[in-house]
Amino acid sequence: MALNHIDEINHAELIETSFTGQVAVLVGGVGGAKLAHGLMQIMPSERLTVIVNTGDDFWHYGLRVCPDLDTVMYTLAGIVDKNNGWGVGGDTTSMLDALRRYGEQPWFRLGDQDIATHLLRTLALRDGERLTAITARLSKSLGILPTLLPMTDEPVATMIETVEQGELDFQEYFVRYRWQPTVRALRYAGAADAHVTPEVESALRGADAILFAPSNPWLSVMPILSVGGMRDLLAACAAPKLALTPIVAGSALKGPAAKIAAELGFEVSPRGAARVYQGVIDGFVYDSRDSEIDFTDLAPLRTAVYDTIMQDEPARARLAGQMLDWVQAWEGDHEHLGDHPR
């Protein structure tokens, strides 16, 4: 196939995939967790690696909180709060109520069961254990079979320069101020000095397809791409790389992706999101509601159109299958796919 044509493939009932290779998916929080869960439903767990943004991580009341890692972990374990898409389903907040008795005004929700995760992680970090190893142990305890990896073992902090409040760390911007301040610029503190872990490098080099979840490009995926050596590593990987749009019909399904796009001067559309990844990805999946958008100026980028709204678990599995089935159709251009020799 030529790399500059538009593939419009709509297998509406597809819930399985003929793709037989290794898959690595780069994810942020809720949207990324949904795609990872969809992939987990349609392929053997030993062939799936989920690489998670840690730019949101922060210290809170002495605990190391990793919101995206936890959201993905709880989702894959089947214990996530399905109404919010994050936190543990049915969790209570008695500890926060106790803090209020002491005059505290907690602005970040810490569920009582959720605190157990943060507590064990913090203790292990203080004992010198790597975040990668801690995540593996916690995931195994929850019965998660796919490999779940933090993007790096070293601390990286997504910082948001705002018009109204100056520079804020991610959780202040996102939770305390409910992402309302106007974004002027972003920086990923510590990313350039951080390192790709051996586990992440192995997963990416061994992948037959590398997917970018529909997570916020600026807040969730760019921190991953900013880790020292990550872009060069991705460029050296022969696997096809494809991203799923976080923007549908001019809006983000959840969170501030559309707002940030506008404030940073990007086109608020799937094409604007695709531009963020230009030079990194080979393919881009966008929604049928935006089927009239012209991507020819982004050639040789491949594009495909599906219903990308993952409103329930079957929809997650169907979309994940469609994406991998589409990649399988690239076989003539990428002989490394699936069972083909590298």
Per-domain residue ranges of the chain: 6-328
Q: What is the pTM of this model?
A: 0.92
The DSSP output letter for 173 is I
Q: What is the pLDDT of residues 13-67, one digit of tens each?
A: 445 678 999 999 999 989 999 999 999 999 999 999 999 999 999 999 999 999 9
Q: What is the pLDDT of residues 278-322, one digit of tens each?
A: 999 999 999 999 999 999 999 999 999 999 999 999 999 999 999
* Beta-strand pair 157-162/166-169: antiparallel
Q: At residue 138, does pLDDT exceed 90?
A: yes
Report d(CA 27, CA 76) in Å as an integer.
13
The answer to whether the CB of 66 falls within 8 A of the CB of 28 is no
* pLDDT score, position 26: 98
* pLDDT score, position 254: 82
* pLDDT score, position 333: 55
Q: What is the pLDDT of residues 188-215, one digit of tens each?
A: 999 999 999 999 999 999 999 999 999 9
Lowest mean pLDDT among 15-19, 117-121, 136-140, 247-251: 15-19
Specify whether domain 6-328 bears CATH 3.40.50.10680: yes
Report d(CA 335, CA 337) in Å as an integer.
5
Nearest CA among 160, 148, 144 for reference residue 200: 148
Report d(CA 80, CA 70) in Å as an integer.
9
Phi-psi region of 21 (alpha: psi -120 to 50; beta: other; left: phi over 0): beta
Q: Is 243 helix (H, G, I), strand (E, B) or coil?
A: strand
Q: What is the pLDDT of residues 74-131, one digit of tens each?
A: 999 999 999 999 999 999 999 999 999 999 999 999 999 999 999 999 999 999 999 9
